[in-house]
Structure 1
Amino acid sequence: MKLSRSEFIKLGILTAAGISGLPGIKLSAQGTSSRKTVIVMGGGISGLYASYLLSKTGIKVQLIEATDRLGGRIRTVTDVSGNFLDLGAEWIQAEHRTAKSLIRELGLKTTDFEVQSDLFFGSYRKFGTWDISPKSQEILNKLVQMNSKINSTQQQELDRISFYNFLNYQGMSLEDLNILNFKYSLYYGDSLRSLSAQKVLSDLVNFPKYNTRVEGGMETLTRALVSSLENTEIIFSDPVVSVSQVEGKVIVTTVSGKK
């Protein structure tokens, strides 16, 4: 089964949510302690969330991060005035139920707002004055209706082609393709060249008017998770080079030679 990055991240978070409920976990690190230890590789949002859930059950956690920072693609920069910019993950969308639940659990504040943006595409255009042509809008409307009527096999085929290429095949102009690419990248945080046609067409049936952001930036979520970790040892700047299973134990070896 082929997964997009967004689907993989969602699956990873959902999997993490179920870890503490799995019976008979027998993972352990090499050592003298009789206490059960789980090693989590990678300190991105999924790794941090898995560590958070595991540590709450009393399981000892070793979190191994290859770089010198936690958060993965989540990164927020703030200027001297307190204005912030998310360089990676930015939006919390309606379908991100696990993320929304976690944000509430950690007591973080969010803000809902409508994305409004001016456009410079050959010439400067203020928000509300730019959009695709009526012809391209008609193409888009027909495709959304078509997607709601096709069977699962046809939807799987649509899932294998990018939305950008699919619109190109349908005769949408290059200018309108680029405008749509900009417009929807504000919501998805990714190019239409990377998103499946089936995914976007399904979303367009009830496309949300508002997005949600964490106050202070998404790195606020990372910091809150880290400060909430219990029974967790964090190892920085030590990439994992091998994972092996010997006599019922999982042995993780890092580039520094630690096991």
Structure 2
Amino acid sequence: MEFKDSISDAFASCIERQQSSKPSVIVIGSGISGIAAAHILNNADFEVVLLESRDRIGGRIHTNYSFGCPVDMGASWLHGVCNENPLAPLIRHLGLALYRTSGDNSVLYDHDLESYMLFDKEGHQVPQQIVIEVGEAFKKILKETEKVRDENHHDLSVLQAISVVLERHQELRQEGLAYEVLQWYICRMEAWFAADLDMISLKNWDEENVLTGGHGLMVEGYYPVLKALSKDIDIRLNHRVTRISNGPNEVMVTIEGGRKFVADAAIITVPIGVLKANLIEFEPKLPEWKVSAISDLGMGNENKIALRFDNVFWPNVELLGTVAPTSYSCGYFLNLHKATGHPVLVYMAAGRFAYDLEKLSEEAAANFAMLQLKKMFPEATEPVQYLVSKWGTDPNSLGCYSYDVVGKPTDIYDRLRAPLGNLFFGGEAVSMENQGSVHGAYSSGVTAAENCRKLLMEKRGFLEKFQILSISDDAILEAAFPLQISRM
């Protein structure tokens, strides 16, 4: 199909197109949600064009190869290493290895406790027994917040609830070094949501449907998944969408520079941060119920500082952490050497601290991470390369993934994913049960594609049975290509 330059021209040939041409869809955003939607519709013999503002595909998935090995600077885990995960068939088919970092009992963390090593601000290792005891106390504190939730008709922040619990239960309070370890646990919880605990809804924080199998790090990065799904799709990079006009039978999408694309429908998978910033103009304007849904969902931020070294001078544990009097001042490094064999450490920061790091130059951010590392290991050598993410100020994302703010309306996800005429919505933010996850984003793209196809086929007067065309039969894949999982 030729994408026309004006919506009036499209209307003039509408009857001819319905009789003789394939249904056409514009997908906006080439994150895994958009690529999944385009993949589904392309396999269903639709005419599809995918518009991407960046010079690469993937969105908030970004596997960087400049170290000579894959390093995911965005999403890096498969949350739910099991056959029920919708991405499992493709990962099996591609033979991609996973490094499991936690078991089923990890709801808040993507790592188990036994592979941590924590240090205080003087560089002394925290005794493991203190780490274990404070971890158990933190579980009890979170359990007690359920009572606080039940007692209050209005929503509170998780931090407010923790304060109430500690007022009531003196035995759960921590002092000295144990208090700093508690702050580190809070720091890790904030990393899960990419937001500070005073921003996170007590009512909704534990509603996520966590799949079984624990959490698996993608050893070879997520790019091979994107590459497989994007095969044969017409992808236009450096095409930043500025306006979407939704007519009764057509959608016209305008990109920066004024070029226009017209199709029967569009699927919008841009990050919620971009929608919140009103970087795309809608005509007609979005209804108030859609605008408020976008406004009422939080957009979190988490950044990575990846450091590559010539030699490994750190212990063979998965996480190296620093405790402090506040969660803001705590931090941790992910040890990629243990999972992948490459001499790379990744410093991770979330919430307000992630935004503050973005105020620094990349060199200054790398120097900051090295200061934290040298507190733990004074003999640490200088990195030979570094990479720094800035998801919060990247105009293509304006954050990393969404979270439930205090007082979030109960129907927000229904409103976020609800179509508007010929417009459909995908992305991790519209996935109520798997918010912030790669498989949640993927599933939302599949759902948007299914709904889009049904509408367009109904408009053409028929709707044959629609089956998603996957790479091959899942049962065969499961038998021939089991998930490759390691745990060193």
Counterparts of 2:37 and 2:117, CA distance in 1: 39
Counterpart in the other structure of 1:89: 75
Match of residue 30 from structure 2:
43
User: Which residue pairs with 1:125 in the alignment?
Assistant: 125
Aligned residue for 1:218? 222
1:112 aligns with 2:116: no
The alpha-carbon deviation at position 88 of structure 1 amounts to 1.2
1:150/1:184 CA distance change after superposition, 3 Å? closer
Query: What fraction of aligned residue pairs are identical, expressed as a percent?
Result: 22
Whether the 8 Å contact between 1:119 and 1:130 is mirrored in structure 2 is no
Deviations 1:44-84 (A, max 9, x none): 111111111111111121100011111111112346563x4
Contact 1:133 1:176 in 2 (8 A): no
Separation in 2, partners of 1:148, 1:202: 16
For 1:118 and 1:66, locate their aligned partners in 2 and report how far apart those are by CA, in whole Å.
41
Q: After superposition, where does 1:244-255 map in structure 2 within 5 Å?
A: 244-246=245-247, 248-255=249-256
Structure 1 residue ranges without an equivalent (≥5): 1-27
Which residue identity is paired with 2:91? Answer: I
Distance 1:121 1:235, change over 3 A: farther
- How many residues are aligned here? 220
Distance in structure 2 (CA, Å) of the matches to 1:60 and 1:78: 32
- Computing the radius of gyration over CA atoms, which structure comes out larger, 1 or 2? 2
The answer (yes or no) to whether the contact 1:77–1:87 under 8 Å persists in 2 is yes
Deviations 1:160-201 (A, max 9, x none): 63x344324433666355211343466x37345365434555
Spell out, residue by residue over 1:227-254, the C-alpha distance to the aligned partner (whole angstroms, 9 max, x if none): 3xx3x31111121111113351111111
- Aligned partners of 1:207 and 1:57: how far apart in 2? 29
| Matching of residue 257 in structure 1 with residue 271 in structure 2 | no
CA-based RMSD of the aligned residues comes to: 3.9
Three-state SS of the structure 2 residue aligned to 1:170 is helix
Paired AA for residue 98 in structure 2: T
For residue 258 of structure 1, report the CA deviation from its aligned partner: 1.5
Q: CA deviation at 1:148?
A: 8.5
Does residue 1:243 correspond to 2:229, yes or no? no
Q: Unaligned 5+ residue runs, structure 2?
A: 5-9, 103-110, 167-172, 261-488
Deviation at 1:40, TM superposition (A): 0.4
* SS of residue paired to 1:38: strand
- Equivalent AA in structure 2 for residue 170 of structure 1: V
- Measure the CA separation in 2 of the matches of 1:97 and 1:221: 14
The SS at the match of 1:35 is coil
Q: 1:72 aligns with which of 45, 59, 74?
A: 59
* Paired residue secondary structure (2:78): coil
Q: 2:400 aligns to what?
A: none
Cα distance in 1 for residues equivalent to 2:131 and 2:200: 20
Q: 1:94 to 1:59 in 2, by over 3 A?
A: same
C-alpha contact (below 8 Å) 1:64/1:238 kept by paired residues: yes
Residue in structure 2 matching 1:175, options 176, 180, 187: 180
- The 2-side partners of 1:42 and 1:110 are apart by 27
The amino acid across from 1:253 in the alignment is T
Shift of 1:220: 2.6
Structure 2 residue identity aligned to 1:42: G
Cα distance in 1 between the residues matched to 2:159 and 2:148: 21
Distance between the aligned counterparts of 1:93 and 1:36, measured in 2? 35
Preserved CA contact (<8 Å) 1:168 1:177 = no
Equivalent-residue separation in structure 1 for 2:116 and 2:28 (angstroms): 38
Q: Specify the alignment match of 1:3 in structure 2.
A: none
State the TM-score, normalizing by the size of structure 1.
0.66
Name the amino acid aligned to 1:239.
R
**Conserved 8 A contact 1:117-1:126:** no
* C-alpha contact (below 8 Å) 2:55/2:237 kept by paired residues: yes
Which digits, 9 at most, give the CA deviation of each residue in 1:15-64, with x for residues without a partner?
xxxxxxxxxxxxx9546762211100111111111111111111121100
SS of 2:253's partner is strand
Q: Distance in 2 between matches of 1:58 and 1:127?
A: 60
Q: Report the alpha carbon displacement of residue 104 of structure 1 after superposing the two structures with TM.
A: 3.5
* Residue 111 of structure 1: how far off its partner (Å): 2.9
- Aligned to 2:254, the other structure's residue is in SS state strand
Q: Is the 8 A contact 1:139 1:170 kept in 2?
A: no
Q: Output the CA distance in 2 between the equivalents of 1:157 and 1:42.
A: 36
Secondary structure (helix, strand or coil) at the match of 2:77 reads: coil
